[in-house]
Structure 1
Amino acid sequence: MKKYLTKFLCLTVVLTLVFSVADAQKQKKRAATKRSNTTTKKTTKGKTKANIKSGGQVDSVAAVVSAPPAAPRIDSLPVPKVKKSLRLDEAVETKDIMDRTPLAYEHLRADDAVFRHKIWREIDTREKVNLPFRYSADENTGNQRFISILLKAIQDSAVTVFDPIDDRFTTPLTISQVSKLLGGGGDTVPHYNDQGVIDRYDYKAREINLDSIYKFKIKEEVIFDKESSRLFWRILGIAPVRNIYSSSGEYQGPADVFWVYYPDMRPIFAKYQTYNGKNFGARMTWEELFETRMFSGRIIKSTMDNPFDLFIAANPGLKDNGVFQLLEGERIKEKIFNYEQDLWSY
């Protein structure tokens, strides 16, 4: 019996020693975590505090000015807001115009295309025949400028817009990216307090003048179909062009803003009427204007006799001579015309 009692006492002593060691280790860990927290609080307080004397001098730590804010994301384009008329603003009924849909293109087989070339044109809206592109009246469909129609279609997500890094419609753009390419965005302007020290930065948006975009590029393909014995002109894309200036106001040249795929824009163009000062009875739509080719544009590039894929202005001997560039474009136009005429026999 004594043996059992001694064993039990030894076992209880060993267990008490084990529990006491474990409690001591836990208390040490808690104390270490508390010390680490107190040290971090002290260091952060010491970093943020700065003793400032009279006269704007800082004793220990320099005052930190907030960094310039990042440019906010702009998800709106400079589309003029036009109020709709609450009464019928016309003496005739034109409600059916908004329900117009363009006719489908005639199918062209690749085997029937005996003549195919791509042509790039530049439309200058300052020419008299191109003045409908600059018609700035406000109607129920919105502002009637051609650039306003494009921007409204992009703002309403009715069409996909592509990056001007190429004209093959490879890289889609967002609305904020289009706004930056238009020359919008904004500038970060510092704000000074009473002591002449920058205390914050303000973001001011730039204004965009839509009338400053008066040139457009058109990419099209000319095809002679032997089945119907006709020459077809199919527009592929349209790109507005804006002038680029440096910060000092020096002119750096033109640049494409974006590209839109013309077949995607046809249903939208069919709902907008153009200004037509020659027809007093009716006005055509933008889709009819492009399909009947009621515009003027000089050829700036083609795939005819162009193995290096250069613009006319980049060819040797034509770079600094605008007259020769115009004559080269007219030569390409005449070559296409003569090809069609020479296929006929009388």
Structure 2
Amino acid sequence: MAAVVGLQSLQHNNDSQKMKNLAHKIYVTAFCLLALVAVSNTADAQKKRTSKKSTKRTTTKPKAKTTAPKTDYNTQAPAVTETTPVATPPVNAQTTLPKDSLPTDSLPPMDGFFKSEMFNNAKAYNYPAISSRDARFYKRIWRDIDVNDPKNALFNVPGATLAEIVLEGLRTGKITAYEPSATNNDSTFAKRINVLNALSRFQDSTMVDQFDANGNKIGSKMVLNDFNPASITKFRTKEDIYFDKKRSMVVTRIIGIAPLKAISAGGSIVGEAPVFWLYFPQCRDFFATKDVSDPDRNLYDTSLDDIFLQKRYTSTIVRETGSNTQRTTAQIASATGVLPGATAADVINGEQDKTAKSKSIESKIQNFKAKTWSYDIQKTPTAAEKKAAEKAQKEAEKAQKAAEKAASKPAKTPTTTTPTKN
């Protein structure tokens, strides 16, 4: 009985071992099948890619197939057509472009070996805040800046003159032009003018004759000449000078700036008049983007706005608050001595009068600034200093009394004795 049981257990162990071996074989076979499927899919995808590439190559560059024509003895032979060869220009031949076409730049040009972008997005810094309670208005003045003066060479750089910068600001809409007052009063920014009107005021006009087809004169018309920046030689600034009690300093602020145009009378230039006015606080952001650095003048990272705020230019005062506000052309001519029959002495006297008036106004401003800072220091003396002062005063009084007493006594005459003879 025990032997039978042992045989049965042995047979059971053999069966379980066979089942394990069979399951292992099934797992291995399934893994191999999956690997084969993955490899076949990869191969199919690779074949599709290569087939697409080959089709693209064949479509872009097809190969010419030569097929021999089939001869049919019952039909007529086709006519042979001769193809004329296309003439291809030689490689070195120059192709002519139409006159109205422009060649394309292979590389955009740049004026310089590099382009500084430091001032592209520059903004002018704000003025310190001022309250009406802290400002004591002193004077309003007008100054003329002569760009032909060597000290104002920064305003007269070829290609970047102050007149050209103003024109650029007008064309781009960065600054606005205002109508100058006819009476030269303080309503400077009352009326705006459009860009075309402002630009046309910079240009001179010329009378041009008109002719018909036969060469006969039929009339004439005014034609605007091209703008010449050299024609604008002066600019006028309008400034306010006030005392800031909060900061305890005299401040000068530019309110407006205007290009000047010459006034002629009798064929002679007798003065200048503003073409239009620009509001300087509005111009500051545009001027801050203009680089005027000049190593020869020790100017580095300096903008046009810095030049105006730091007063790095020379100017002449031509008017102050309270002066005559209405002057005709004849009055200007008489002041400068440019009148029919005027002598050279009259011209010299007129210029000397303007220079003396300008210096007088400038001295008033400097005196006002000097008086602002003039003050006396009152020092409280110590006890020792008081005692020394009293002692010195008493000694001075005693010396004075002694001098007065000596002066009041009459001078004694000396007595002389005569010798007697025996």
Q: Percent identity?
A: 22
**Cα shift at 1:85:** 6.8
1:249-273 CA-partner distances (Å, limit 9, x unpaired): 5545422111100000000000002
**Aligned ranges for residues 54-93 of structure 1 at < 5 Å?**
86-87=109-110, 89-90=112-113
The one of 256, 261, 286 equivalent to 1:268 is 286
> Taking structure 1 as the reference length, what is the TM-score of the superposition?
0.64
Partner of 1:109: 131
Partner of 1:127: 149
**Paired residues of 2:210 and 2:217 also in contact (CA < 8 A):** no
Larger radius of gyration: 2
Partner of 1:236: 255
Bigger Cα displacement from structure 2, 271-280 vs 115-124: 271-280
**Cα shift at 1:115:** 3.9
In structure 2, distance between residues paired with 1:291 and 1:218: 12
The one of 89, 92, 95 equivalent to 2:117 is 95
> Taking structure 2 as the reference length, what is the TM-score of the superposition?
0.53
In structure 1, distance between residues paired with 2:300 and 2:253: 25
In structure 2, distance between residues paired with 1:161 and 1:261: 8
In structure 1, distance between residues paired with 2:354 and 2:220: 48
User: 1 or 2, which has the higher helix percentage?
Assistant: 2
In structure 2, the CA distance between the partners of 1:281 and 1:178, relative to structure 1 (3 Å rule), is closer
In structure 2, the CA distance between the partners of 1:308 and 1:196, relative to structure 1 (3 Å rule), is closer
Partner of 1:338: 367
**Cα shift at 1:212:** 1.4
**Paired residues of 1:162 and 1:259 also in contact (CA < 8 A):** yes
Matched, 1:155 2:171: yes
**Aligned ranges for residues 288-307 of structure 1 at < 5 Å?**
288-303=306-321, 306=322
In structure 2, the CA distance between the partners of 1:319 and 1:252, relative to structure 1 (3 Å rule), is closer
Partner of 1:325: 354
Structure 1: any 5+ residue segments left out of the alignment?
1-83, 137-142
In structure 2, the CA distance between the partners of 1:242 and 1:318, relative to structure 1 (3 Å rule), is closer
Partner of 1:5: none
What amino acid does structure 1 have at the position aligned with 2:161?
R
**Aligned ranges for residues 31-70 of structure 1 at < 5 Å?**
none
**Paired residues of 1:191 and 1:202 also in contact (CA < 8 A):** no
Highest RCO, 1 vs 2 (Cα 8 Å, sep ≥ 6): 1
Partner of 1:196: 216
In structure 2, the CA distance between the partners of 1:337 and 1:175, relative to structure 1 (3 Å rule), is same
Q: How many residues align?
A: 250
In structure 2, distance between residues paired with 1:338 and 1:203: 52
In structure 1, distance between residues paired with 2:299 and 2:146: 27
**Cα shift at 1:202:** 7.2
CA-atom RMSD in angstroms: 3.1
In structure 2, the CA distance between the partners of 1:189 and 1:175, relative to structure 1 (3 Å rule), is farther
**Aligned ranges for residues 171-320 of structure 1 at < 5 Å?**
171-184=191-204, 187=207, 189-194=209-214, 196=216, 198=218, 204-245=223-264, 250-251=268-269, 253-274=271-292, 276=294, 278-280=296-298, 282-303=300-321, 306=322, 308-309=324-325, 320=337
